[in-house]
């Protein structure tokens, strides 16, 4: 955005984001890195160190881009923050807010003494969650919507996708043998790709 980013007419900022980089959620049967206690000490599906840093830096970026609009009171009361109950989402939102709202105003420094240095770097934020994830029709990405399911099925069964799978039948057969489960759809292919990408980013061969 840079210097030409004009926010003079801005009245409201709404930010919708997902969580930061995470560890795998699911593992294929032949995955050599399936032992979470050894390879994923953060926990299955939890934020990685890189993910935590990325969300904090995203908060700093928002402060940089919208500083004149947000003002310099750094008040958590001017923000409405909502998250699903998923732990990686709650952590991501906490990190983003920490980056965007350091307690630079003494009103929000919850300890003015030198005994709690953290009070000058971080302030707590209320985060609304409302309901268990399985009942959250807005933020639960696994929540089924009949219309959305219908549209997705149209895509997966389209001539273009069917042709793509046919053209890559040999590759999918080899992939299936390697991972120990049948990979016969774009959805499953994406699942394997996601897991392998996360492991590659961790430095696992």
Domain ranges of the chain: 2-140, 144-205
Given a contact cutoff of 8 angstroms between Cβ atoms, the answer to whether 23 and 45 are in contact is yes
CA angle, 100 then 52 then 105, to 5°? 25
Higher-confidence residue: 23 or 142? 23
- This prediction's pTM: 0.85
Out of 1-15, 103-117, 164-178, the most confident range is 164-178
Q: Running DSSP on this structure, what letter comes out for residue 106?
A: G
Residues 23-73: tens digit of each pLDDT = 999 899 999 999 999 999 999 999 999 999 999 999 999 999 999 899 889
4 — pLDDT class (breaks 50, 70, 90): low
Q: Running DSSP on this structure, what letter comes out for residue 190?
A: H
> Can you name the residues that pair with 22 across neighbouring β-strands?
47
Residue closest to 98 by CA, chosen among 106, 180, 90? 90
Alpha-carbon distance of 163 to 51, in angstroms, equals 36
SS3 string, 54-103, reads HHHHHHHHHHHHHHHHHCCCCCHHHCCCECCCCHHHHHHHHHHHHHHCCC
Alpha-carbon distance of 163 to 71, in angstroms, equals 54
CA angle, 129 then 64 then 19, to 5°? 35
Q: Is the pLDDT of residue 179 over 50?
A: yes
The pLDDT assigned to 1 comes to: 46
Choosing among 3.40.50.1240, 3.20.20.140, 1.10.10.10, 3.30.2320.30, the CATH entry for 2-140 is 3.40.50.1240
């Amino acid at each position: 955005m840079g210097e030409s980013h004009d926010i003079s007419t801005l009245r409201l900022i709404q930010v919708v984001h997902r969580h930061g980089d995470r560890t795998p959620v699911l593992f294929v049967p032949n995955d050599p890195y399936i032992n979470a206690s050894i390879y994923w000490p953060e926990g299955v599906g939890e934020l990685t160190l890189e993910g935590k840093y990325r969300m904090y830096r995203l908060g700093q970026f928002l402060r940089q881009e919208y500083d004149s609009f947000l003002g310099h009171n750094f008040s958590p009361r001017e923000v409405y923050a909502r998250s699903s109950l998923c732990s990686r989402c709650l952590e991501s939102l906490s990190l983003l807010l920490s980056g965007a709202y350091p307690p630079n105003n003494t009103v929000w420094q919850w300890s003015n003494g030198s005994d709690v240095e953290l009070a000058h770097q971080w302030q707590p934020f209320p985060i609304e969650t409302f309901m268990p994830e399985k009942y959250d029709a807005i933020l639960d990405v696994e929540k089924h919507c009949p219309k959305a399911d219908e549209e997705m099925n149209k895509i997966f069964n389209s001539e273009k996708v069917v042709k793509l799978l046919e053209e890559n039948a040999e590759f999918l057969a080899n992939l299936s043998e390697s991972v120990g489960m049948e990979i016969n759809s774009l959805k499953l292919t994406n699942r394997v790709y996601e897991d392998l990408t996360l492991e590659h980013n961790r430095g696992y061969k």
